[in-house]
């Protein structure tokens, strides 16, 4: 909520006042400041913007930050180095074990495009510590042979992304890394819904199924296998159809009890919905569906009733989604 964020924001201001007194925190109630709201194109609340070098032009958006400690990290990484330079394996281990998640960049040299993209990504992911090294000894100790970004979870490597010069972009890496703040498959509920929307992956796939059915374990394993393949590109969500509080999502996707298990893809920015053509939730069917969607070949699922048999009997024709285009256009 805005109130909660406001308190965390104030706490970050208190912490940084001691460490970095030149960084000023301010808040504006735009209900009374219409000109400012218009000038900075404020659409959603709360919005946090960072102004650099006394300029009103092009402030940097601070998105998805909710905790005081994360605000502090975000600001520090914008005003100073965004990653820690690692010279020894002991130093690397200390960073990896200090938090649940950590990201380490292993490089041959510290001046190339990949390093730049890595440092820019670190600025946008203040939720976890970032370190980088070009030490041959450290790379050898972790068995790393090519420039790589490695995500560690609870002290163990869970993902290794080879960094080819100029191949990756910051947004792709940011999406990928932020997905590790969620489980591989996230079950939808009141608590997780906020986290799901904080991860900047705009493609969501949803599996609607009762979690207590006999076939659930097999379906879930297939779903998890597919999730690992599309990590960072499509976010995998599970909706328990026996949970009455999930009714609104059912309505939104026009899924009925008789349809389950059902699989849908939602694109958050266009609000377009897609239905998996196959009925069985196998790894093969999920993979085909996700690949065709990412290639732009999946058919949009326009919720519609069946065409009534007597739709053209009367002078006023009966139109539903399925015959609307063909009759009108």
Q: 220 lies in which domain range?
A: 183-295
> Measured between alpha carbons, how far is 68 from 82 in angstroms, rounded to an integer?
18
> Measured between alpha carbons, how far is 103 from 117 in angstroms, rounded to an integer?
14
Flag whether 310 is in a domain: no
Co-location of 69 and 97 in the same domain: no
Please tell me the predicted confidence (pLDDT) of residue 305: 59
Co-location of 163 and 145 in the same domain: yes
Please tell me the predicted confidence (pLDDT) of residue 144: 94
Please say if the pLDDT value at position 199 is more than 80: yes
Stretch 229-246: mean pLDDT: 93
Residue 181, C-beta contacts closer than 8 angstroms, at least 6 positions apart: 101, 127, 128, 195, 198, 199
Of 39, 64, 79, the position where a domain reaches its end is 79
For the residues of 34-91, what is the DSSP string, one character each? HHHHHHTT--SSS--EE--TT--SSPEE--S--SHHHHHHHHHHHHS-SSEEP-SHHH
Co-location of 20 and 34 in the same domain: yes
| Secondary structure of residue 149 in the 3-state scheme | strand
Please tell me the predicted confidence (pLDDT) of residue 63: 84
Stretch 156-175: mean pLDDT: 86
Flag whether 36 is in a domain: yes
Flag whether 315 is in a domain: no
Q: Which two tokens stand for residue 321?
A: 């989604």
How many domains in the chain?
Answer: 3
Of 60, 79, 98, the position where a domain reaches its end is 79
Co-location of 200 and 175 in the same domain: no
pLDDT tier for residue 198 given thresholds of 50, 70 and 90: confident
Please say if the pLDDT value at position 67 is more than 80: yes
Flag whether 311 is in a domain: no
**Residue 203 backbone phi and psi in degrees, to 5:** -100, 120
> Average pLDDT of the chain?
89
CATH number where 71 lies: 3.40.30.10
Please say if the pLDDT value at position 8 is more than 70: yes
Co-location of 208 and 169 in the same domain: no
* For the ranges 17-31, 150-164, 165-179, the one whose mean pLDDT is highest: 150-164
Co-location of 113 and 152 in the same domain: yes
Flag whether 18 is in a domain: yes
Please state whether the predicted TM-score (pTM) of the whole model is above 0.85.
no
Please tell me the predicted confidence (pLDDT) of residue 328: 62
Co-location of 142 and 220 in the same domain: no
């Amino acid at each position: 909520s805005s109130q909660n964020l406001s308190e965390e924001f104030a706490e970050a201001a208190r912490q940084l006042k001691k460490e970095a007194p030149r960084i000023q925190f301010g808040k504006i109630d735009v209900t009374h400041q219409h000109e400012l709201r218009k000038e900075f194109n404020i659409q959603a609340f709360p919005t946090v913007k960072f102004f650099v070098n006394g300029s009103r032009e092009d402030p940097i958006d601070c998105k998805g930050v909710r905790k005081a400690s994360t605000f502090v990290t975000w600001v520090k990484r914008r005003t100073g180095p965004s990653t820690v330079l690692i010279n020894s394996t002991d130093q690397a281990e200390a960073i990896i074990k200090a938090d649940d998640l950590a990201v380490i960049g292993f490089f041959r040299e510290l001046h190339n495009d990949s390093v730049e993209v890595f440092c820019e990504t670190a600025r946008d992911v203040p939720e976890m510590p970032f370190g980088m090294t070009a030490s041959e000894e450290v790379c050898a100790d972790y068995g790393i042979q090519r420039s790589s970004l490695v995500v560690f979870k609870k002290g163990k490597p869970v993902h290794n992304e080879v960094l080819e010069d100029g191949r990756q972009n910051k947004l792709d890496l940011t999406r990928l890394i932020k997905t590790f703040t969620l489980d591989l498959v996230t079950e939808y509920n009141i608590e997780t819904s906020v986290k799901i929307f904080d991860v900047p992956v705009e493609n969501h796939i949803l599996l609607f199924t009762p979690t207590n059915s006999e076939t659930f374990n097999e379906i879930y394993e297939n779903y998890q296998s597919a999730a690992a393949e599309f990590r960072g590109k499509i976010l995998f969500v599970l909706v328990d159809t026996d949970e009455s509080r999930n009714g609104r999502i059912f309505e939104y996707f026009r899924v009925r009890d008789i349809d389950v298990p059902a699989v849908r893809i939602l694109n958050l920015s266009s609000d377009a919905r897609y239905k998996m053509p196959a009925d069985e939730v196998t790894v093969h069917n999920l993979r085909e569906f996700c690949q065709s969607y990412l290639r732009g070949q999946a058919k949009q699922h326009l919720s519609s009733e069946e065409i009534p048999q007597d739709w053209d009997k009367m002078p006023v024709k009966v139109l539903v989604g399925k015959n609307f285009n063909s009759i009108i256009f």
